[in-house]
Structures are given as C-alpha cells and as structure tokens.
Structure 1
Amino acid sequence: MRIVVTGSIAVDHLATFPGKFAEQLIPGQLDKISLSFLTDQLEVHYGGVAANIATGLGRLGQRPLLAGAAGKDFGAYREWLEREGVDTEAVLVSETEYTARFWCTTDTEQNQIASFHPGAMAAAAGISLRQLAARVPGIGVVVIGANAPDAMLAHTAECRELGLPFAADPSQQLALLDGADIRRLVDGARYLFTNEYEHALLLKKTGWSESRVLSAVGAWITTLGEAGARIDGAPGQSATVREVPATEVVDPTGAGDGFRAGFLAARNWGLPHAAAARLGCLVATCVLESKGTAEYRLDGPTLLERLAGAYGKAPAAQLTPHLATALAAGRLGGHPKQSPVLVADR
C-alpha cells in the first residue's frame, strides 16, 4: 500500500545557542519579553515535516507520495528527494513564492525556540487528494501533517469523503488552531500523533477527555522524548516502548518526524503497534545523532544490532525480514549520499 504524506516542505535554518534560554527569562517580566540570542553555529538544511517523514519512509523502501506545496526554488530539493526514494509528482510548485522557511535555535539543554514562514505552503489547499487517489490506486494511509490550516482541514475532509484512512499529526499547528478545528482534524483518524506537550495542549483546546479522544481515533501515539513512546488504544489497551539510547545527542530537530516514518513503515509492513513504535524510536535516535532533520543514515546491519540491543532478539526479529528486504533493494546502507546541507557557517 502507498503512503501519502501531506504537510510542510521547508528549508530549515538551524542555530545553536551556547547557553540556557531559562537563564535569560526574568520571572514577572514574561509579558514583556525582548530577547536576542547570539548563536555560535548556523546550518541550513532541507526540511519540513512532510518532506522529513517522506524521506524516512523512502529510506525504508516505501516510495511515499509527497503532497505538499513548494516554491520556485524547489528544483534541487526535488532532485534530492527523488534520490531518497520519495515520489514528488504530487508536489504543488509555486511560480512566484519561495519554499517555506523554518528558523530554530537550540540551547545547551536541547530546548528550542522556533519560527516559521509559510511562503508557498499557503497554497497547499489547492492540492486535490481526489485527483491523486484517482491516479494512484492502493493508498493505505494519508498523513495530515502540519501545513496551512485550510489545507489540513481540506485534506482531512477529502479523506473522509473518499474513505481513505488518515493519520492526524497537527504538531506545531495546534497552537494556532481552535478547539473546533482540532476536533475536526482528529475525529476518525486511524492514528493520532503528538508529543507530550501537544498531548496536553490538544486536551485543553478540544475540551475532550483522554477517553473521548481515544473513542475518536484508532490509536493515539505520544512520543515521550528520552522515555520512548506510548501507544493508547481502546480502554485498557496501552503500551510504552522505551527509547533506543543515543550514542550522542547532536540535534533534536526532526526526531519526531523520524519516529513517524519508522512507525508508519512498520505498520505498512503489517506489524503490530509496539513493533512499529520500536522502529520509530530507532529512526528517531538516528535523527538525534545527526545535525539536521535529514542528515541521518540508516545502516541495515547496525539497525538490526541496535534493535536487538535495545529490545532483545525476539522483538528485533519482527523487523528483521522487512529491514533485510529494504537493504536488498538498496534503500538502506551506510554510505552517505549527497548531503542536503546548503550552508554551514561555523
């Protein structure tokens, strides 16, 4: 089955601050913030949640369909995505706007302050999933990732109309969406993805209880950072999968997108939720160990060793044949391809 990934396609500007954001915040003055951080490193990478998830799926042999909006500067990015196994035919390319931009600064405690300019992404509602479904049979799930809000709502409505299973992944856009819109995005989703903060924010803004959310979705997957991930389903059905330890945490940006790629690939292989979460945690760790959201490599033999080391031989064995197939197809490997880094100022 094919996986369609909707959401942002962006260029990421990633900087590091050699201090702690918390030390710059003054209690009692948080309503009058005026801060400037002198960063000591800047790198510019390809990114955007949809492109990040699609890249991970491509490396796992899925040949995902990327359905987002990009700008007139998309040519080189498109070529890179295609080399990584991503089908970009459904990308809407603007003739006048530039691809969206994401700016993120990370401190020494891995806290982040970020901003986002949509650029061409504002036109994403013009992408027709109906036309895509007519052209590409066998769509297994549509990921509704962070995007222009009207596009997220339109794509979700199309999925319901067409009977296409969808995964709700509102992430950063939860802060902008009101409760009614969030309820529309979530209701009927096969999967709902959030991190811990987004989990709490979704409950607050929708006014729903956890049990009410779980009655509306097939499974609610919450990433827990160093604690791994939790999968909640029907009442009484909950499982927590611990993390895969990182050799070194270089940059947390994009780790959640890596988790989603691993999880969705494993589910598309027909594996249970817990096994999917284990692969998701492993891919997320690979992202953590590299700079940028798409710099990581998936080395087949190493992946299998790390799975067995983190979870034991039996859980790793669930994933072994599928990763071996991806490796044989040339999607996994330890030899870096062309780097997506555009600029590196050190």
Structure 2
Amino acid sequence: MSALICGSFAYDTIMVFHDRFRNHILPDQVHILNVSFLVPDLRREFGGCAGNIAYNLKLLGGDGLAMGTVGTDFQPYAEWMDRQGMSREHIRIIDGQYTAQAYITTDQDDNQITAFHPGAMNSSHENRVSDADGITLGLVSPDGRQGMIEHAQQFAEAGIPFIFDPGQGMPMFDGEDLMRFAEQATWLAFNDYEARLMQERTGKSLDELATLVEAIIVTRGGEGSRIHHDGRITEIPAAPAASLEDPTGCGDAYRAGLLHGLQNDMDWDTTGRIASLMGAIKIEQAGTQNHHFTLDEFRARFRDTFNYDFG
C-alpha cells in the first residue's frame, strides 16, 4: 500500500536570542517599533510537512511518496533526501522561486517571532494526484491553498482514501471550505486548537463531523490524543520522552505513525500508540529530521512503553 503525501517542503532557519523579547519591545512604543536582536545561535533545518512526514514514514519502513513544489535553491535538501533513500519523483521545481522558508527567532522564555515565505509552495496545484501511480492511501497536509483544495478533490474523485490534515493552513479556509474537506476525506487529523477552530468555523461538533468520516484524530500534547471512531472515543496515552528538546515537527512524526498503522490495517489502539511514540522520539531531538532509529529499535521501545508487540 503506497501513500502519497501532499504538502510543503521548507527550510527552517532557527535563531536563539539570549534574552527576552519583552526587555526590548516596549508596549507603549510599538507604533515606532524598530528593534534588532543579536542571535549567536543559528541552525538551518530541512522541514515542511510533506518532507517531515515522508522522513518519519521511511524510518518506520513505510511506503510513502512526497509530493510538493520547491524552488531552485532545493539542491541541498534534494541531496539530503537522496542520502535518506527518500523518493523525489513527485517534487516539482518552480523556476524563479525559492523553496518555502521559515525564519524563527526564539527568546529565553521560548517565545517565538516567525516570518514565513511560501515561495514555490504557492504553486502546489501544478502537481496532480494522478501524476503518481499505484497510490492506495493519501494525505493532504499544509500547502498552498489551491493545491490543498485540488488534491483533496483529486483523491476523492479517484476513490483514494486520504487524511485531511490542515495544520497551520487552517486559517486559509472558511467553514464552507472545511465542510467540503470533511465530506471528501476519509480521516481528519487536528491538534486540539485546530479541532476547536474546525468546530467553530463549520458549526459542527466533533461528534457530528465524525459521522462524515471513518475517524477524527485529535492530538493533545502531553495529554495524549483522542481518536473519534465508530461512535466512540479511543484514548491514546502520551508516550514518555527521555528529554524535551524541540516540539517542532512532532505532529508530522505522529501523522507518519497514523499512515503506518493505516497501511498495515492496524486497529486504532495500536495505530495511535505508534503515532504517539513517534512524537516522543521526535521531541527528544532538535530539528524535524534529525532523529534516527531502526525498526527493531522502535519495536523494542514500543514494547517497553506499552507492554505489547505490534504487528
């Protein structure tokens, strides 16, 4: 079962300010704001939802193809993907554009100021689901607005079951848009904030939305996650992490776990726990694609964490 993962690729430039923003941003002077932060710590990471999910699914031994649009500056990322054995077959380079870029400055209180340039991501609709052969499972993750709309429609028209995962792309859609996604999708995935926003914009409760799909998955950070399916809720505990280094990309790691469970016809109790453990492993490392493990190591940790073996 091959999964097509539609979404973004991005470079994440992360800077650390060794002070607090509040010491330099004066509330009564924001109308003439002009500040500069010295950031002695800087790293550049490979990111974007499609790239992150495909990376994590590869670690689990899953069969996944990432589909996205990137700029002419993509070569370093491409070389990284090649080293990881990740397919670039459905990545389209857009001439005259940069790959999406996030510039994130974090202070000592873990506050963040982020600037995001979508770049080539806005051309994601130039890719079509039908460009990929042998796809039996799909995922629509944050991407260009038109691309998300068209890819969801293409999955639905092709009869390919897919997860709709709007993530940080949710503000681009109104209630009518979100209802259409819910009617097209097979599964919906949100964090708890996005789930509340989904309910507010559609005017539908999670129970009502759950009648449209096979399952709704809601992650809740350290409180674990909930999977609404078959008229009931399955509670998934948060897997313990050895350290809390960086939460960025945990949601993408979780979604790779969902895909792995779906690809292998696992029940929701096990699928959710695989996803939960993926998030815990990710949070132990800075960056979104810097964690590593073998499948045997993952199985052993799963057994130690949940006291049983999976599939």
Q: Residue 160 and residue 105 in structure 1: after superposition, are their counterparts in 2 closer, same or farther (change >3 A)? A: same
- TM-score, length-scaled by structure 2: 0.90
Alignment of 1:138-149 (within 5 A): 139-149=135-145
Equivalent residue in structure 2 for 1:166, among 162, 169, 173: 162
SS of 2:194's partner is helix
Equivalent residue in structure 2 for 1:274, among 263, 269, 273: 269
* Partner in structure 2 of residue 344 of structure 1: none
SS of 2:285's partner is coil
* Partner in structure 2 of residue 45 of structure 1: 45
Equivalent residue in structure 2 for 1:241, among 225, 228, 236: 236
Please state how far the C-alpha of 1:53 moved relative to its aligned partner.
Answer: 0.3
2:255 equivalent to 1:263: no
Alignment of 1:130-141 (within 5 A): 130-132=130-132, 136-137=133-134, 139-141=135-137
2:74 equivalent to 1:69: no
| Matches of 1:178 and 1:55, distance apart in 2 | 31
Equivalent residue in structure 2 for 1:285, among 271, 280, 298: 280
Q: In structure 2, what residue type is equivalent to 1:287?
A: K
Unaligned runs of 5+ in 1: 320-346
Q: In structure 2, what residue type is equivalent to 1:204?
A: E
- CA RMSD in angstroms comes to 2.5
| Matches of 2:224 and 2:42, distance apart in 1 | 29
* Partner in structure 1 of residue 182 of structure 2: 186
Please state how far the C-alpha of 1:251 moved relative to its aligned partner.
Answer: 0.8
SS of 2:184's partner is coil
Unaligned runs of 5+ in 2: none
SS of 2:273's partner is helix
Q: Is the 8 A contact 2:59 2:294 kept in 1?
A: no
Please state how far the C-alpha of 1:23 moved relative to its aligned partner.
Answer: 8.8
Alignment of 1:1-346 (within 5 A): 1-18=1-18, 39=39, 41-107=41-107, 112-132=112-132, 136-137=133-134, 139-235=135-231, 237-312=232-307, 314=308, 317-319=309-311
Q: In structure 2, what residue type is equivalent to 1:118?
A: P
Please state how far the C-alpha of 1:114 moved relative to its aligned partner.
Answer: 3.2
Q: Residue 35 and residue 223 in structure 1: after superposition, are their counterparts in 2 closer, same or farther (change >3 A)? A: farther
| Matches of 2:297 and 2:222, distance apart in 1 | 21
Q: Residues 3-46 of structure 1: CA distance to partner in whole angstroms, max 9, x if unpaired?
A: 0000111101123355677899999x8x9795966545221111
Q: In structure 2, what residue type is equivalent to 1:221?
A: I
SS of 1:298's partner is coil
Q: Residue 273 and residue 38 in structure 1: after superposition, are their counterparts in 2 closer, same or farther (change >3 A)? A: farther
SS of 1:290's partner is coil
Q: Is the 8 A contact 1:7 1:48 kept in 2?
A: yes
Q: Is the 8 A contact 1:11 1:48 kept in 2?
A: yes
- TM-score, length-scaled by structure 1: 0.82
Report sequence identity in percent: 31
Q: Residues 46-105 of structure 1: CA distance to partner in whole angstroms, max 9, x if unpaired?
A: 110111001111122223111100111222312321332322111111121111102234
Q: Residues 210-250 of structure 1: CA distance to partner in whole angstroms, max 9, x if unpaired?
A: 22211122111111111121111132x11111112111111
Please state how far the C-alpha of 1:195 moved relative to its aligned partner.
Answer: 0.7
SS of 2:282's partner is helix
Please state how far the C-alpha of 1:309 moved relative to its aligned partner.
Answer: 2.7
